[in-house]
Amino acid sequence: MTNTCRVLRHFVVSDDAQDLIEYAFLAGFIGVAGYLSLGVITGTIGTTYGSWLDPTAGVPSLWDPSPPLVSP
């Protein structure tokens, strides 16, 4: 326990690991921002695909062939 406290105190007091801590904060920020944006993007993609698969308004209704022409 004493050795662990000594190492942690060394990292807090020393400027040698400052860039390592800054990179850890940056990675954490990018991770949180990515997680939050993934929630928004997932909902948007689900809504878009849902509208495409709607048989009355989506893309499949545009692919339905027109009725055949009747000759007189």
Classify 65 as helix, strand or coil: coil
pLDDT at 30: 96
pLDDT at 16: 65
Task: Please tell me the distance from the alpha carbon of residue 52 to that of residue 42, in angstroms, as a whole number.
Answer: 15
For range 31-54, the mean pLDDT? 84
Angle ∠(41,61,66) on CA atoms, nearest 5: 155
pTM of the model: 0.46
